[in-house]
Amino acid sequence: MQKHLWTLALSSFLAVCLTLSAQSAALIELSAEQEAQCLSILRDGLATEEFWPSMHAAEALTLAGYGDEVREVVEPMLATVTDLQHRCGLARELVRAGDRSKAKILLDLIADPDSYAHIHAAESSYKVWVLGDGVAMREAFADRANASRSMMAAGALARWGNVEALAYLRKRVESADVDVARIAAWVLGRVGDASDFVALRAGQERFDDPLAKSFFTHALAALGDPKGIEGLLQNFGSEEPSARTMAATFAGEMGLTKAKEQLLGLLNDEHFDARVRSAQALLQMARDTPAPPEGVVVSEVYPATEANPRYSEGDIHVLNDGRMLYGTTEFIEDWSDFAKARIVGRISADGGQTWGERMVLQENIGGKNVMSLTFQALSDSAVGMFYLRKNDFDDLDVYLRPSTDGGLTWDEAILVTDAPGYHVMNNDRVIRLKSGRILVPVSSSPNVKTDNHFKCSVWYSDDAGDTWRVSRDVVDYAKRGAMEPELLELNNGRILMIIRTQLGHIGAAYSEDGGDTWSEAADWGVRAPEAPSTLRRIPSTGDLLLIWNDTFVDGAGHGGKRAPLTVAISKDEGKTWIHKKNIESIAGDPSVFMGGFSYISATFDRGRVLLGYYVGEADAKKISSRFRSFPISWLYE
């Protein structure tokens, strides 16, 4: 399950960020009369009683920056519309307009055995980057009996870095079946690259129908082929209304400013969708909006200072409107685990390329500090902010503050670890099982000053965080014991716990009953220093992603420096690891454990991996927090 905050002023960026490709930096100028005409077309369309035309107008208004207007009209319709395909359309446009909570409607329809709305749900999910945990979409992709649904599911998965789905689309674009080939071309225009030119050009030649040809022409144009762009411009004069409409749509997505005059002419087209898409394209190209991130993005979100020498143990959460919140622990005047600290946050509206002003998420209410942040869904309608409240060496507990309005406000804190002792939970560690059960993994000691040996247990809730129980079993290990546990639900229903150890490897234990009882821990077969590791399931592929320090120096403090920071994927539930890559490295004395990268937060959004982690300076007592994101597809290169 994927992992919000107060006053969410829905930005115009978000509307455009939900377009199907990045905007050009170039802008066009519209007169007041031209802009008014465009908006009049779209608002009249939104008000029409014809369902799909109204949804097309809703899409256009959102992409032009009027998502709030769309939500006001579309949201009430969900209470009365029962047709499943129509509910798909409503949910899609609400997601596009900035209410990502409605994505559940699409995901439920994809998973429903009733096939009536499957294709619509897959297509809508593809259009607005909805994937959830990816299970239903991967199953739809695997069902080759329904070619249209399989291709739309492939499109959704390919946008999220599934290379097998992309290969499937490239094969289908070569089909002799015109309907199959043109749909594949339409999708490839958004997820492909220049290597697809040959197949798309062949498709242009393979079919005689002008409308079918336009699918290949526009895909070529979207991918930057000069002849494709020339053909797109010619299609503004096509006798086929759908070809004119598609030309306008792609022109807007591409930011094709040279099409301005043709688009203005289309505002008076006899075909409704042609008018809507031309108005949409013109308004899009007249707005100065940031492009979504490409490649690797790295931001020093929380650089350490003399006043705040440590920022660490944070989490990244994608807000309901699509912006990202990076929360972390801000230590005051000292970098010690026992220094005063509070939890702060910054928000990015451009995929992590820039960040807003720092704000306090949780003031220090502990005798020592509050620290170690996790955001996690509690139910389909609630989210939780988990953190540690530290009073003393024998008094550390996990607390939860729920939110039922998407993070606009937070309720009073609930004590999770209701037992004496020092209970450590790392940042970004809470998980929600498919059953709905919430698991909080902790490593505990009676008194960390006098008894520095830890045992792991799991606190769990079956009522969305209202009440908590502790597991019957604890997990122990040699030397300092089992530390800083991480949990993951395996495909067979078992729960895997991986632990930090002092033995030069990651330890692992398993639960067969949702986290209540546990096996003895053993070597997991992955070397590591005494440092935590982060484990996630990639939604678009179902593979596991491990992020850890791939090193060990016997006899060094903490088993060596927490570097490099390494990633690898597993296709067999953690038995073997492939595509191992270092994403951070550092030179220097390996006995200095401060230097390195650790305490990783990891989530996925819009086809990218989002990481937050600490960066320790090897020669100074300072720790900063860094954001890094990259395409999921990079993991498979």
Tens of pLDDT, residue by residue over 60-117, are 999 988 999 999 999 999 999 999 999 999 999 999 999 999 999 999 999 887 767 8
Paired residues of 462 in beta bridges: none
The parent domain of residue 607 ranges over 297-636
Tell me: do 255 and 349 sit in the same domain: no
Q: Tally the domains of the chain.
A: 2
The pLDDT score that the predictor gives to residue 561 is: 86
Tell me the pLDDT tens digit for each residue of 445-472: 999 999 999 999 999 999 999 999 999 9
Mean pLDDT of 30-52: 96
The token duo for 20 is 């199907």
- What is the predicted pLDDT for the residue at 291? 79
**Co-location of 308 and 379 in the same domain:** yes
The per-residue pLDDT for range 101-143, each reduced to its tens digit, is 999 999 999 988 776 788 899 999 999 999 999 999 999 999 9
Judge if 444 and 531 occupy the same domain: yes
Give residue 441's pLDDT.
Answer: 98
Judgement on whether residues 270 and 302 belong to the same structural domain of the protein: no
> What distance lies between CA 215 and its chain's CA centroid?
30
Q: Which of 257, 285, 313 is the last residue of a domain?
A: 285
Same domain, 183 and 35: yes
pLDDT of 10 reads: 30
Does residue 621 carry a pLDDT above 90? no
Of the three residues 285, 308, 323, the one that is the final residue of a domain is: 285
* Residues contacting residue 540 through CB under 8 Å, at least 6 positions apart: 131, 134, 137, 138, 157, 160, 161, 162, 165, 604, 607, 632
Assess if residue 113 is contained within a domain.
yes
pTM above 0.75, yes or no: yes
- Please give the full DSSP string across 209-243, using - where no structure is assigned: -HHHHHHHHHHHHHTT-HHHHHHHHHHTT-S-HHH
Burial label for 481, CB within 10 Å (0-12, 13-18, 19+), is buried
Q: What confidence tens digit (pLDDT) does each residue in 582-613 have?
A: 999 875 554 444 578 999 999 999 999 999 99
Least confident range of 70-79, 548-557, 570-579: 548-557
Phi-psi group of 484: left, alpha or beta (phi > 0 → left; psi -120 to 50 → alpha; rest → beta): left
469 and 458 Cβ atoms separated by less than 8 Å: no
Contacts of 205 (CB under 8 A, 6+ apart): none
Q: Which two tokens stand for residue 214?
A: 């336009």
Residue 517 is part of a domain; what is its CATH number? 2.120.10.10
Q: Are the CB atoms for 613 and 596 separated by under 8 Å?
A: no
| Alpha carbon distances (Å) from 454 to 429, 446, 465, 487 | 17, 9, 25, 17
- Alpha carbons 386 and 413: distance in angstroms, whole number: 9
Beta strands in 462-527 (DSSP E): 469-470, 483-489, 495-500, 505-511, 522-527
Instruction: Please spell the DSSP secondary structure of 516-546, one letter per residue.
Output: SS-PPPEEEEEE--SS--EEEE-TTT--EEE
Instruction: Render pLDDT for 144-161 as a digit per residue (tens, 0 to 9).
Output: 888 888 999 999 999 999
pLDDT higher than 90, residue 265:
yes
Residue 23 has pLDDT above 60, yes or no: no
Beta bridge pairs of residue 387? 399
Name the percent of the chain lying above pLDDT 70: 94
One domain, residues 362 and 460: yes
Tokens linked to 445: 């000691």
Do 422 and 516 lie in one domain? The reply is: yes
Distance, CA of 583 to chain centre: 19
Same domain (yes/no): 452, 560:
yes
Share the mean pLDDT of the chain. Answer: 92
pLDDT of amino acid 619: 66
- Of the residues 225, 250, 285, which one is the last residue of a structural domain? 285
What confidence score (pLDDT) does residue 407 get? 67
Question: Based on the domain organization, do 205 and 75 belong to the same domain?
Answer: yes
| Residue 8 maps to a domain | no
Query: Residues 153, 28: one domain?
Result: yes
Other CB atoms within 10 A of residue 262 CB: 21
Structure confidence at residue 9 (pLDDT): 28
β-pair partners for 536: 545
Residue 355, pLDDT > 90, answer yes
